[in-house]
Structure 1
Amino acid sequence: MSKVVCVTGASGAIGSWVVLLLLQRGYTVHATIQDLKDEKETKHLEEMEGAKSNLRLFEMDLLDIESIFEAIKGCSGVIHLACPNIIGEVEDPEKQILEPAIKGTVNVLKAAKEGGVERVVCTSSISAIIPSPKWPADKIKGEECWADLEYCKEKGLYYPIAKTLAEKAGWDFAKETGFDVVMINPGTALGLLIPPRINSSMAALLTVLKGGKETYEDFFMGMAHFKDIAMAHILVLENKVASGRHLCVEAIRHFSDLVDIVADLYPEYNVVKLPKDTQPGLLRAKDASKKLIDLGVEFTPAEQIIKDAVESLKGKGFV
């Protein structure tokens, strides 16, 4: 594989780490963002070591395939992270989440195939695995488990619907065309924040620090450090033996476990303890992401993820 890789959604919390690690590994990176005039998207990327010589920024719209072609031109690999990330209430789910997620994924894959790209690594989510209330109670959830779309529709859970349908659309495209597609399914992404903007997972942690009582019953399965998620994408891109879905969590945990760690590490904050089992039917498990561990991903321990995340929130003035 040549050393030119396109990263969509490059200015986000995970995307920024992907760009940083690729630059450190000697890659030339085509990084896509939404607005070239927005310093909150561009500045932290342009300031990275190696960016002057090896980073090119592209303005891209997931629904405009020509803009995707432009960014992908000359690349041998694509890491596709760009996706709307709205966990709460949505006014127009079709326009805000579903269309950009599903059609955007297919557009990226089409452009990549036509552009001669060798492999695309797509960022799916644990939200394409959970909520799955009909899953056997005695079986650990993993790559073979899918979110229950009927349950999600009944509850108005548009983010899991979007991520599930987008991932399935990606697999359909791969099956129909024979194109090389691999998926990463990250858990709650926390850690050292590179961009100035906060992501939804870090916002959830901020809520915990401020005494929030939300349990994220249908959205939590475990966490992973931004850096580890980024490295998972790169190792899957580089290793041809990698195939299929890859659950990406430090361990399968309940949200109450995360809250307990925050409370123990930061007693000075008004952290509200939650019931022990906040995720009904979810079995806890260590080394749940065995496929990635076998590829060489070394997951940051939960306590260190939380420390990096909280100190990052403090350093950026969010708390």
Structure 2
Amino acid sequence: MAAFVLGGTMAKGMVVVTGASGFVGKYVLADLITAGYRVRGTVRDLTKSDAVREAVSSITGQSVRSELELVQADLLDDANWSELLSGADAVMHVATTVLAIEPKDPDLVVRPAVEGTERVLRFSAAAGVKRIIMTSSLATIGYGLGHTSGKRVYTEADFTRLEALEHPWAYCIGKTRAERAAWSFAQANDLHLTTIHPGAILGPASDPDTSVSLGLVVNLLSGATQAVINTGFAIVDVRDVSAMHLAALEDPASVGERYIAADGYTRFEEVAAILRRHYPDCPITDRVLPDEVLLAMLRSGGSSSQIINDIGNEKHYDGAKGRALLGRPYISPEEAVLSAARSVIELCMVQPTQAA
């Protein structure tokens, strides 16, 4: 049975996972159960409980109905947090709010990120839970640091400077403020915090209730994307993100550390090219939108204005530290893309005429 260091001794534990109905949350639940932990997950809507259990069961390959406890809790409400953290040995704070388009009201994203993190840590400390693994983001590492053109490599030592962020981005603001608040609270309250920083999370969906990032693959396969943008991003497979959470939990050396969960740099046009090779009968675009056209659209209030911060520069993230924690190479970006494609087709989220 898996174990982790708790107060200097080895002990099997019960882990609370926030955001149990999310793309990453389901994999984290599955990995913890497979590793032998007792697990309690949070959901905002208990009517999703059966669907979450079915999705987690599909990942583990066996029913988890009797092993997975789900409790209703909201990041913006104190109700139930004391009860659900009772008896817990560790918390994995995975829950987050991600929107496909930049909201007119940033608080739709910022408040759950910041207040939710503060609430989870405050109730954890009150319940005597010391060990916290928090899902952060590359958005808290590579922005507001004066990088507007060319290539730059970022490491865990870099921290986004919101005061220098040229173009407002609610997700970046929320995640950065939340992480800074988490480190401050952890230090003041002797919590054993580790943060995991994924890039764009792809890989196989366990059910149709999945992530914004998988929309990239769905929209390319369906032809909804008529041209890709002339930039790129760091891709990570959801299975690696989940495995890194478990690895951090079981490695006492990870306390107080940040870990990038991604490696390399993949252009949007490369993602489209991968899908065209394997799904030649799908209407996958080969057009690339010129920067000047995209910038004009974004500055006039385009719905994806959050990506304006990545136009004209290449953000490469050094995944060596995270890879060492993982203890193996990352799943390749190509496999992350293709496994995402296979899953959305199997789940009937897109209907290609022929699959390779």
- TM score, norm. by length of structure 2: 0.80
Aligned residue identity for 2:97: P
- 1:206 positional shift: 1.6
Query: Deviation digits for residues 81-120 of structure 1, max 9, x if unmatched?
Result: 11111141314321x1111110100111111122122310
Deviation at 1:283, TM superposition (A): 5.0
1:290 maps to 320
Question: Aligned pairs, how many?
Answer: 313
The one-letter amino acid of 1:213's match is A
Residue 247 in structure 1 maps to residue 260 in structure 2: yes
Matches within 5 A, 1:80-229: 80-94=93-107, 96-132=108-144, 134-135=146-147, 139-150=152-163, 152=165, 155-209=167-221, 210=223, 211-215=225-229, 221-229=233-241
Q: Relative to total residues, which structure has the larger strand share, 1 or 2? A: 2
SS in 1 for 2:282: coil
Name the Cα RMSD after superposition. 2.5
Cα shift at 1:302? 1.7
**2:41–2:70 CA contact under 8 A, matched in 1:** yes
The whole-number CA distance in structure 2 between the counterparts of 1:246 and 1:221 is 17
Offset at residue 51 of structure 1 (A)? 2.0
Higher alpha-carbon deviation: 159-168 or 32-41: 32-41
* CA positional deviation for 1:148: 4.1
- SS of 1:184's equivalent in the other structure is strand
From 249, 265, 276, the counterpart of 1:237: 249
1:172 Cα offset (Å): 1.3
Q: Is the 8 A contact 1:80 1:120 kept in 2?
A: yes
Contact 1:16 1:195 in 2 (8 A): no
Which structure 1 segments of 5+ residues have no match?
none
The SS at the match of 2:41 is strand
Alignment of 1:33 onto 2:43: yes
CA distance in 2, matches of 1:91, 1:139: 31
Q: Name the CA distance, whole Å, in 1 between partners of 2:335 and 2:270.
A: 14
Counterpart position of 2:284 = 271
Stretch of structure 1 that moved more, 238-247 or 41-50: 41-50
Specify the code of the residue in structure 2 equivalent to 1:201. S
- Separation in 2 of the partners of 1:103 and 1:283? 29
- Using the TM superposition, name which of 307-316 and 34-43 deviates more: 34-43
Q: Which has the larger radius of gyration?
A: 2
Matched letter for residue 251 of structure 2: N
CA offset digits 1:144-177 (Å, max 9, x no partner): 223342464x534111111111111111112222
- The DSSP-based 3-state class of the residue aligned with 1:181 is strand
Tell me the distance in 1 between the aligned counterparts of 2:189 and 2:230.
37
Deviations 1:226-266 (A, max 9, x none): 11100011101110111321111142333333333223333
